[in-house]
Structure 1
Amino acid sequence: MNSLFAYSKSNLYIFSFLLLLPVLGNSQYTDVINSNRPGVSVSAYAVGKNVVQAEMGLFYEQRDHTLLNTQSDIWGTDISLRYGLLFERLELNYEGTFQDQDITYSNFNLLAKRRDFSRNRLGLKYLIYDPFKNPEANKPNLYSWRANNKFQFKNLLPAVSLYGGANFVFGDNPFYVGEPTLSYRGMIATQSRLTPRFVLITNTAYDRISTDDPELSYTISLSHAFRNPKWSVFVEHQGIQSDRYADLLIRGGIAHLLKENLQLDFNMGASLKNTPSRIFFGIGGSYRMDFHKDSLKPIEDQEADQNGGAIDKDAMKIDKKRKNKGSGAEDIDLGPSKKQLKKLKKAEKKKKKDSSEIDF
């Protein structure tokens, strides 16, 4: 029962369904807060250069273990502090969870207490690939609402980021007895936009590296924004495997954008096994302080296609035929004159009369 793959047939169906869920995506810096809450999955994108963001919450959990015959009540708080460091693609992130756990050992009629950080982590995340980097390749279709909102296979191509960080265990932490003060964590985060309203995030992490019980985990999260974009919901599946602890979790929740820099949220979930069984819920919020400023790019470093199309190599040359015939505006294209427009209209009418094709 301590294996990630030891669960009932009905749970296998649920797990298989979750693996088939689609994916979500966002851009890099945005004018509106972009929070990782209320789930535990991490976005592939950074918050943006010089943006400071705090994501905090309170939670309660009921945890029972059928084999050990124990019952636990857990209260806690979690916080994530995010900062856009140096440039748009890089993010510095601190994650901490402090919890108070009361454990009742029914077989011995004993009550024990654990109180400390169950998570205390510092890391860097860097976006290595962004499918929306080229705006020309992602222009909306101005003639079809359906083309812009339907699912397309190209939308499965995700943004990808790499994360590297360290876990810290200080003092006699009852949640990590005998572990070293420092251990390491690596993660790959992907984010795909299936439609403008659906986004899929996946995280694959190898945690507590250099300890006796390293941990492998994955998270799959699907989000959906309503017609009122201030409201969104999500469903998330998480799997954890290590010699110390293994579990399968499912959670869901809702978030509301109160202001451009403030989001409130609620989430709840449960485990898919009973060693231990877990039921939990939490409330929280995210707040952003935006010190971001767009960096100016010298015109000689800009690509021609970004500002009105490519520049003709002969665009700055003076037409010798017109050199001495103008009045100081030879290099400016003023468009066709009235006479030229009349001639063009007559030619177009004549062409239509002579054409044997049906004009729709």
Structure 2
Amino acid sequence: MNSLLAYSKPNYYIFAFLLLIPLYGLSQYTDVINSNRPGLSVSAYAVGKNVVQAEMGLFYEQKDHTLLNTQSDIWGTDIALRYGLLFEQLELSYEGTFQDQDLTYSNFNLLAKRRDFSRNRLGLKYLVYDPFKNPEANKPNLYSWRANHKFQFKNLLPAVSLYGGANFVFGDNPFYVGEPTISYRGMIATQSRLTPRFVLITNTAFDRITTDDPELSYLISLSHAFRNPKWSVFVEHQGIQSDRYADLLLRGGIAHLLKENLQLDFNMGASLKNTPTRIFFGFGGSYRMDFHKDSLKPIEDQEADQNGGAIDKNAMKKEKRKKRKGNGAEDIDLGPSKKQLKKLKKKEKKKQKESSEIDF
């Protein structure tokens, strides 16, 4: 079997250690739901402190193995529960997939049934680096629409998060025969905003670390938002390598933002090999309950430009002059100044030219 990624057992622990290197970063909270569906890739960003998010779906898969001469029909449901824990960068998540598989052995004319969790996972994700943490360095260009929408090399710099979690296998699970009840998982997730409409996400995971068949996998996902930003599409490639199972998968789909806290989606995909051949599709939705509150920052900890900008050294002098001109009538509207009138006249002329009206 050709390996997607070459590795040896001593390297498992080196890789796991690299996943846990501490860095520092900031998160971005948004008012609109940000779901990992309809793909399997995981965003680098957390949902935000005190945000609860549920992502659920139903799927069907047909799986045929040419060497074993088997055929499978699989129905299932998957669910992800995400919660912003303690602070903006940290997210607690549960991921579960329950499936019902009818497996036919054509050589022996036998039918077997498997029903259990194929994924049952709990973990923490922490955003360690955010390239958008400095708003000054990411201000839009007010003079060029093209400058704000074209690809720039600096956009390749991704947000980075680290994930650590555990897989749970309870009872006689037919999908993981002989595996321990608990095994561990580590992952690096990156997210780059290539343009305002294109987002690139990558996941590199080391799964079932303490089992006899640990698994390396990667995910590359590219999503695109239409001119109507409520609609978006994605394409995703996944590679999996272990002694137990290896595959190359391609999937794509579409998502629609129904409300700020509700998203619906559809996805489909297939494998790129025939051991086994996999064809699947699914649909679902994501719902968010937002209990987020912005934390207050003491004024002594704020920078000068975070609260209306730095104070002009002549600000008080100008204020005094205004009061002297007012002759004690500071609360009375004295009308626009000459400079203000000139500006108003220029605006009016500009409006007249744009509307092509003739002024008599």
Q: TM-score, normalised by structure 2?
A: 0.83
Q: 2: distance between equivalents of 1:38 and 1:350?
A: 48
Deviation at 1:296, TM superposition (A): 1.4
Q: Which shifted more, 37-46 or 14-23?
A: 14-23
1:198 and 1:254 map into 2 onto residues whose CA distance is 14
1:323 match: secondary structure: helix
Partners of 2:125 and 2:174 in 1: CA distance: 29
Cα distance between partner residues in 1 of 2:83 and 2:348: 61
- How far apart, CA to CA, are the structure 1 residues paired with 2:116 and 2:346? 86
Say if 1:24 and 1:192, in contact at 8 Å, map to a contact too: no
CA distance in 1, matches of 2:310, 2:92: 38
Seen in structure 2, the aligned counterparts of structure 1 residues 238 and 22 have a Cα distance that, compared at 3 Å, is farther
Is contact 1:35-1:286 (8 Å) kept? Answer: yes
Q: Which runs of 4+ in 1 moved over 2 A?
A: 1-27, 307-360
> Contact 2:51–2:290 (CA<8 Å) still a contact in 1?
yes
Residue 340 of structure 1 aligns to a residue whose secondary structure is helix
Distance change in 2, residues 1:325/1:234 (3 Å): closer
Contact 1:23–1:192 (CA under 8 A) maintained in structure 2: no
User: How many Å separate the matches in 2 of 1:16 and 1:183?
Assistant: 13
- Cα pair distance change 1:102/1:11, threshold 3 Å: farther
Q: Partner residue of 1:256?
A: 256
Post-superposition Cα deviations, 1:37-75, rounded to whole Å, max 9, x if no partner, equal: 000000000001111000000000000011100001000
3-state SS in 2 of match to 1:244: coil
Deviation at 1:303, TM superposition (A): 1.3
- Mapped to 2, the partners of 1:198 and 1:354 lie a distance apart of 34
Q: TM-score, normalised by structure 1?
A: 0.83
Structure 1 residue 213 and structure 2 residue 213: aligned? yes
CA contact (8 A) 2:26 2:129 kept: no
Alignment RMSD (CA, Å):
8.2
1: CA distance, partners of 2:16 / 2:124: 32
Q: Deviations over 1:208-243 (max 9, x none)?
A: 011111000000000000001110000000000001
Are 1:24 and 1:193, in contact at CA under 8 Å, matched by a contact in 2? Answer: no
Q: For the structure 1 residues 217 and 24, does the alpha-carbon distance in structure 2 shift closer, same or farther, using more than 3 Å as the test?
A: farther
Tell me the distance in 1 between the aligned counterparts of 2:226 and 2:25.
Answer: 15
Identity of aligned residues (%): 91
Q: 1:12 to 1:248 in 2, by over 3 A?
A: farther
How far 1:332 sits from its partner (Å)? 17
CA distance in structure 2 between the aligned counterparts of 1:356 and 1:164, rounded to whole angstroms: 63
Aligned partners of 1:79, 1:193: CA distance in 2, in Å?
26
Q: State how far apart, in whole Å, the 1-side matches of 2:199 and 2:22 are.
A: 7
Please report how far the alpha carbon of residue 298 of structure 1 lies from its aligned counterpart in structure 2 after TM superposition: 1.5
Contact 1:25/1:200 (CA < 8 Å) preserved in 2? no
Distance, in Å, in 1 between the alignment partners of 2:353 and 2:110 is 99
Between the two proteins, the alignment pairs up a number of residues equal to: 360
User: In the TM superposition, what is the alpha-carbon distance from 1:351 to its structure 2 partner?
Assistant: 30
How much does 1:307 deviate?
Answer: 2.5
> CA contact under 8 A between 1:23 and 1:198: conserved in structure 2?
no
